[in-house]
Structure formats: C-alpha cells, structure tokens
Amino acid sequence: MTDRKIVPFNPLNKRHLGESVGQAMLHQPVIPLRELKAFDGAGIYAIYYTGDFPCYEAIAEHNRSGRFGAPIYVGKAVPKGARKGGDLEATPGKVLYNRLKQHAKSIGETSNLRIVDFHCRYLIVDDIWIPLGESLLIAKFNPLWNKLLDGFGNHDPGQGRHAGLRPRWDVVHPGRLWARRCRSRDETAEQIIREARDYLRNNPHTG
C-alpha cells in the first residue's frame, strides 16, 4: 500500500484565498433586494429567491425562515476599466450597488417574478480578489441562473445588435424589452423549465 502524500497547508494558495473571500461574503447580512441603499465599492454578491415560482421550490425552501442557504445567482462587479488594466488606485464608485440595482430592474420587468421574493448579500472586496471569490462561490453552489438559465446578468447589446439568440432566462421570465428583440430560441419555456427541474434534483445547491 502506497503512503498517501501529505501536502502542507498553504494559506496563500489561491483556492484558500478564494474560499476566505467567499466565506466572508457568506457571513454578510442578508438584505431585501428592493430595500438596497446606495453604497460605494466593488465586489461579489449572491442573490436569493424565496417565492413560489414552481420550478424554484427546491431553491426557495433552502432560503426561507431566514436560512438563505442556496443562492439562485452569484455575481461580481468590478471597477470600470479593470479588465483593460486601468488605474489600480481609481475609486470604483457605486459599481456594485449599480449592478444589484440593474438586477432588481430586470426582475421587476418580468411577468412572473416579484422583487419582494429576492434578497441579497454582498462583500466589498479589493479588485484583485473579486474574480477568484466569484468563481469559488459559483463552484460551491452551482447557482441555477449561473449554470443553466443563462442571461440574467446580460446587458442590452444596443441598437442593431440583437441578432443573437434570446437568453434562456428571458424565455422563462419574459419582460425585458431588449430581449424581445433578440432572435427566438427553438426551446420553449416549458422545455427549459423541465431541464431546470432535473438540474435542481441533481444539484442540492446548499454548498
């Protein structure tokens, strides 16, 4: 029998650093998405659903009674210009707050979701740790809107740029005007919902 190789714990390993950022975010207070107050900073966040949309019952059950154990979406907001190597000392402004408000607007425009059923928690993070923290949280929870119902975080591509397919999220949750101008998918909402139910049965979403 071969002896198991023991790897010394390295607190500076990027996975451990990412996990520490993710855990810090998960210890932040939960706030109703519609009651969010303006704040400065960039960072990571999780959005939780507690409503009665039938397809999401498995998620909502983990989030009711103050548990908030299964985010339906995890995301990040980085300072403008971060992807292009901008000024490292530049202040991020309200980029994280604006991102969450954009999500609230998307939810409010749908015909079958209610903003009162959504909560969030967020963590303001130094720019360098934002992508790593987001990636680790997505890997931990496999959130439905990250993994299967793509498009929740999409922006309006702009006039004359709607040749792409309508996001799956907008097929299931119609309402955003810009998404209506995108090309229709072959999949119906019913087909996507069946796939989502199967996904949730195989992914408990509790991390």
Mean pLDDT along residues 115-123: 98
Of the candidates 71, 60, 62, the one whose C-alpha atom is nearest the C-alpha of residue 26 is: 71
Residue 45: what pLDDT?
A: 98
- Token pair, residue 44, equals 């990571």
pLDDT reading at 88 higher than 60: no
pLDDT at 87 over 80: no
Segment 164-187, tens digit of pLDDT: 899 999 999 999 999 999 999 999
Question: For residue 9, what pLDDT is reported?
Answer: 53
CA atoms of 195 and 33, how far apart (whole Å): 27
Contacts of 149 (CB under 8 A, 6+ apart): 168, 169, 172, 192, 196
Task: Name the token pair of 169.
Answer: 């999220």
3-36 pLDDT per residue, tens? 667 756 555 566 656 678 889 999 999 999 999 9
